[in-house]
Amino acid sequence: MQVYRTFFKMLMRNIASGLLYLGIFIIISLTVAKNSESNDFTTFNNAILDISVIDRDNSTLSKALYDYLDDCQNIISIDSDEKKWADELFYRTVDYILVIEEGFEEHVRDENYDNLLTSYSAPDSNTSYIAQSQTESFVQNVCLYLEAGYDYEQAALKAGEISQITADVQISNGSGTDAEVSSVSYFFTFLPYVLICMLINSLGATLMAWNRPEIKARTAVSGTGLTARNAGIIAAMTVYSLVIVGIFIIVCIFSYRKDFFSESTIYYGINGLCYMFVCIAITFLVAQLSKRVSALSMWSNVIGLSTSFLCGVFVTRQLLPDKVVAFSKCLPTYWYINVTEELKYFSGTLSREAWISMGVQLLFAAAIFAVSLVIIKNRQQKNA
Amino acid sequence: MSEIIVKIENLVKRYKELIAVDHFSLEIQKGEIFGLLGPNGSGKTTTINCLLSLLSYDKGHIEIFGQEMRPDSYDIKNKIGIVMQNVAVFEELNVYENIDYFCGLYIRDKALRRQYVDEAIEFSGLAEYIKFRPKKLSGGLLRRLNIACGIAHKPELIILDEPTVAVDPQSRNKILEGITELNKNGATVIYTSHYMEEVERICTRIAIMDNGKNLALGTAEELKSMIKNSETIKIHIPVLDDEHLEAIKRLSHVYQCSYSDGVLITAFDGGKHNLIHILDYLKNNEIAFGQVYSELPTLNDVFLEITGKELRD
Ligand SMILES: Nc1ncnc2c1ncn2[C@@H]1O[C@H](COP(=O)(O)OP(=O)(O)OP(=O)(O)O)[C@@H](O)[C@H]1O
Ligand SMILES: [Mg+2]
């Protein structure tokens, strides 16, 4: 208890150097979040096409196809006079025109509908294919359901659902037409860099004071046992780190208000806690290796910057060379980013891989801790 | 009545080739202020560190309070107060917090601890400085803080390793008085130093150490009586013939006599009225002389005679 109290007291005195990083971090994450928010929105808008659908069949199926396309794209009405369509397409009033001829529903069942769906695209349009492929996949799905014995109405409904899902999958593959990425994710993507810097600078300095040989010797001959002393130090380190992460969360709530209160934030938080233990372990190791307190800021920058660049904190992983990505699997930060990447497109449940990634981080923490203990043991033997 | 508090048997500690402690044995009784006197590098700190199980040793057996001392003997460690040669305090904490921390490693009870810390501050005369960080303290005050941190929990056995190194005479006096007071209040004390005056002044028994060996053991009087020298007389004599020098050497109890730079140094191995005999000789032979000093043997003489070298470098 005494060790815990004093260690914690000393930590809180060093907190100032840690808060400096917090300040820098808040500025960076807010700016990045602001910028990317507006960008995302425009790309999303661009992906929606202006199309027209001329329904001459007026059947259940043709109406369902109309509704489906209406969900995906922006349908505007145009003159039914075919001669004027060329102009509409040329001036890009619409990108794509679909004509559903009479008898479409009848002939879908025997898959003989090719002549009954006529489409026109704007010249040189490189986006109209989206509407075309959506139409095709919808009709193909309807055929499958009809074959399976559904009636027109049900088949149309099912086909609509399936097509919706495929559309979502295409989006999460990250092809530029993105769903809106929560700004909270930017906050947590940058967390590893800040957390490691803060902990090495503030926690590291206190640990080093404790590691000074005369203090170590003096404490070793006291009536408080080794286990109790270590427990005190570990408890203080954990509580302190939790305080730091807590400050982060509060800042996060203030910055993102509504975005913050979603289910994915909980998982971001759990992932952050796993990485926190990695940072504690790294700090513990650095405090053993570092000779002077002044060397700590160098250590924090070397470790913080290098792992952040290699593991996709600053630059998304898609942009990194494959060899770098392969190598970065040896670093705990890779596994942290694994989870944040998944959470960017969070759909309600976290995958097994994500949980494993968090487990791997904890294993890293344990391994780094073990290495530090081995170093301590070796040193003791050398001195004895 | 004599309860043995510390028992060291045949302790051997090697640093590779160097034998830092060489078959060292010692018994310390309750209520003693035991002095470990030896020059720099004689193995005092190493002995203390082995005693406290801070260092592993190659051979030997150590008991404290009648129990074998091991690295995990926390019940023994709880009753020991240690003041290390290298000041061990936290730069990040102020005087009060430092004493409170170290005291708290032994005393869990809050109220009792507060009382003990206050007493230690009072005892070490640091009341004015409780809010100071160690960096702002003078060398003497820092040493006193180091001592306060070591003794605040009122241990039964106090070990002080050169607590007065680099301390001015005034602070040194205060420290020595304090140690005597702690002893009067019931603590057994082990005190290491290479200052023979300090050891002679406060210690009830003394071991003289060199090259890791325990060379001699006893009270200051016993140690001095172990050696031949009982008195050294120095006389300023401007001119002295060799003939007279030889005659002085033949006076009774004189075992060593030299004359250089106008000073005659004569060492006696016992006997009474040595000064009168030598002055009578000078007067009878009409030899002019100036200042006269008579010195009783010091521990330095003891050390000199045992090792053939001076204690001080
Ligand atoms: N860690 C070590 N490794 C190697 N040799 C050491 C080590 N510590 C001490 N020694 C050597 O052991 C011998 C005894 O050292 P020790 O510190 O015990 O002497 P001391 O009597 O306390 O001296 P001082 O009065 O200077 O404190 C010295 O020769 C010293 O150089
Ligand atoms: Mg020493």
CATH number of the domain residue A117 falls in: 3.40.1710.10
Task: Give chain A's mean pLDDT.
Answer: 81
Task: Give chain B's mean pLDDT.
Answer: 88
pLDDT of A42 above 50 = no
pLDDT of A44 above 50 = no
Residue-wise pLDDT tens digits, A90-137 = 888 888 888 888 888 888 877 778 888 888 887 777 677 778 888 888
Which of A100, A131, A163 is the C-terminal boundary of a domain?
A163
Which of A163, A196, A222 is the C-terminal boundary of a domain?
A163
Interface of B with A in 71-100 (CB under 8 A): 71-72, 74-75, 77-78, 80, 82, 84, 86-93, 97
To which H or E segment does residue B170 belong?
A: helix B169-184
- Is there a contact between B304 and B229 (Cβ–Cβ < 8 Å)? no
Calculate how close chain A gets to B313, using CA atoms only, in Å.
Answer: 27
Residue A170 included in any domain? no
Residue-range definition of the domain harbouring residue A112: 50-163
Tell me if B92 and A13 make a contact (CB, 8 A cut-off): yes
Q: What are phi and psi of B257, to 5 degrees?
A: -155, 130
* CATH architecture of residue range(s) B4-225: 3-Layer(aba) Sandwich (3.40)
Mutate to test the pocket of ligand 1, among B11, B13, B15 (most ligand atoms within 8 A of CB): B15
Q: In 10 A of CB A63, how many CB atoms?
A: 16
Residue B194 CB–ligand 1 contact under 6 Å: yes
Q: Quick one: A265 and A218 in the same domain? A: yes
Residue A108 included in any domain? yes
Tell me if A220 and B56 make a contact (CB, 8 A cut-off): no
Q: Quick one: A250 and A371 in the same domain? A: yes
Residue A173 included in any domain? no
Q: pTM of the entire structure?
A: 0.72
The C-alpha atoms of residue B157 and residue B6 are separated, in whole angstroms, by 9
Q: Quick one: A20 and A54 in the same domain? A: no
Q: Quick one: A21 and A108 in the same domain? A: no
Secondary structure (DSSP) of A35-99: HHHHHHHHHHHHTSPEEEEEESS-SHHHHHHHHHHHHHSEE----S-GGGHHHHHHTTS-SEEEE
In a mutational test of the B interface, the residue from A222, A293, A382 whose CB has the highest number of chain B CBs within 10 Å is A222
Of the listed ranges A29-43, B1-15, B241-255, B276-290, the least confidently predicted one is: A29-43
Question: pLDDT higher for B103 or A36?
Answer: B103
Question: pLDDT higher for A251 or B33?
Answer: B33
- Is there a contact between B278 and B235 (Cβ–Cβ < 8 Å)? yes
* Cβ burial, residue A148 (10 Å; 0-12/13-18/19+): exposed
Of the listed ranges A245-254, A282-291, B16-25, the least confidently predicted one is: A245-254
Q: What residue spans define the domains of chain B?
A: 4-225, 231-296
Closest approach atom of ligand 1 to CA B49: 18
Q: Quick one: A26 and A55 in the same domain? A: no
Q: Is the domain covering B231-296 a CATH 3.30.70.100 domain?
A: yes
Which of A214, A221, A225 comes nearest B86 by C-beta?
Answer: A214
Q: Quick one: A29 and A112 in the same domain? A: no
Q: Quick one: A159 and A187 in the same domain? A: no
Calculate how close chain A gets to B25, using CA atoms only, in Å.
Answer: 20
pLDDT band, very low/low/confident/very high, at B124 (cuts 50, 70, 90): confident
Residue A42 included in any domain? no
pLDDT band, very low/low/confident/very high, at A176 (cuts 50, 70, 90): very low
Per the listing, tokens 């704007």 go with A122
Please report residues of A whose CB lies closer than 8 A to that of B112. none
Residue B38 CB–ligand 1 contact under 6 Å: yes
Number of domains into which chain A is organized: 2
The C-alpha atoms of residue A314 and residue B269 are separated, in whole angstroms, by 87
pLDDT of B232 above 90 = no
Tell me if B54 and A206 make a contact (CB, 8 A cut-off): no
Supply A207's token pair: 């640990």
Q: Quick one: A133 and A220 in the same domain? A: no
The C-alpha atoms of residue B119 and residue B207 are separated, in whole angstroms, by 32
Per the listing, tokens 């027109």 go with A152
Q: Give me the pLDDT at residue A40, please.
A: 45
pLDDT of A36 above 80 = no
* Cβ burial, residue A114 (10 Å; 0-12/13-18/19+): exposed
Ligand 1 centroid vs B213 CA: distance in angstroms? 13
Which of A6, A14, A225 comes nearest B101 by C-beta?
Answer: A6
Q: Quick one: A18 and A64 in the same domain? A: no
> According to DSSP H, which parts of chain A are helical?
2-46, 60-72, 85-90, 104-108, 128-147, 152-172, 183-198, 204-211, 213-220, 226-260, 263-289, 296-311, 322-328, 332-344, 352-383
Residue-wise pLDDT tens digits, B42-92 = 999 999 999 998 888 899 999 999 999 988 888 999 999 999 998 999 988
CA B4 to chain centre: 20
Residue A45 included in any domain? no
The C-alpha atoms of residue A329 and residue B155 are separated, in whole angstroms, by 54
> Stretch A180-190: mean pLDDT, rounded?
73
| Cβ of residue A226 closer than 8 Å to a chain B Cβ | yes
> Stretch A270-291: mean pLDDT, rounded?
91
Supply A330's token pair: 């040896």
Q: Quick one: A212 and A323 in the same domain? A: yes
Question: pLDDT higher for A156 or A360?
Answer: A360
Q: In 10 A of CB A350, how many CB atoms?
A: 20
| Cβ of residue A1 closer than 8 Å to a chain B Cβ | yes
- Is there a contact between A73 and A49 (Cβ–Cβ < 8 Å)? yes
Question: pLDDT higher for B292 or A379?
Answer: B292
Residue B193 CB–ligand 1 contact under 6 Å: no
Calculate how close chain A gets to B76, using CA atoms only, in Å.
Answer: 8
The C-alpha atoms of residue B169 and residue B229 are separated, in whole angstroms, by 29
> Stretch B16-41: mean pLDDT, rounded?
90
Which of A132, A163, A194 is the C-terminal boundary of a domain?
A163
Ligand 1 centroid vs A204 CA: distance in angstroms? 31
Q: Which of A283, A193, A176 is nearest to A234 (CA)?
A: A283
Tell me if B92 and A218 make a contact (CB, 8 A cut-off): no
Which of A1, A2, A384 comes nearest B56 by C-beta?
Answer: A384
DSSP state of A180: P
pLDDT band, very low/low/confident/very high, at A174 (cuts 50, 70, 90): very low
Q: Give me the pLDDT at residue B252, please.
A: 84
> Stretch A362-375: mean pLDDT, rounded?
92
Q: Quick one: A197 and A262 in the same domain? A: yes
Closest approach atom of ligand 1 to CA B21: 14
Residue B54 CB–ligand 1 contact under 6 Å: no
pLDDT of A170 above 70 = no
Ligand nearest to the CA of B47: 1
Q: What are phi and psi of B94, to 5 degrees?
A: -85, 180
Q: Quick one: A338 and A219 in the same domain? A: yes
Contacts of A183 (CB under 8 A, 6+ apart): A33, A36, A37, A256, A259
Q: Which of A149, A98, A146, A96 is nearest to A123 (CA)?
A: A96
pLDDT of A180 above 60 = no
SS3 state at B265: strand
List beta partners, residue B192. B36, B161
pLDDT of A162 above 60 = yes
Q: Taking CA atoms, what residue in A is nearest to B97?
A: A6
Residue A252 included in any domain? yes
Ligand 1 centroid vs B47 CA: distance in angstroms? 10
Residue A263 included in any domain? yes
Supply B270's token pair: 């016992």
pLDDT band, very low/low/confident/very high, at A23 (cuts 50, 70, 90): confident
Q: Which of A273, A266, A75, A304 is nearest to A190 (CA)?
A: A304
Tell me if B74 and A225 make a contact (CB, 8 A cut-off): yes
Q: Give me the pLDDT at residue B101, please.
A: 93
When computed from its CA atoms, the radius of gyration of chain A, rounded to whole angstroms, is 30
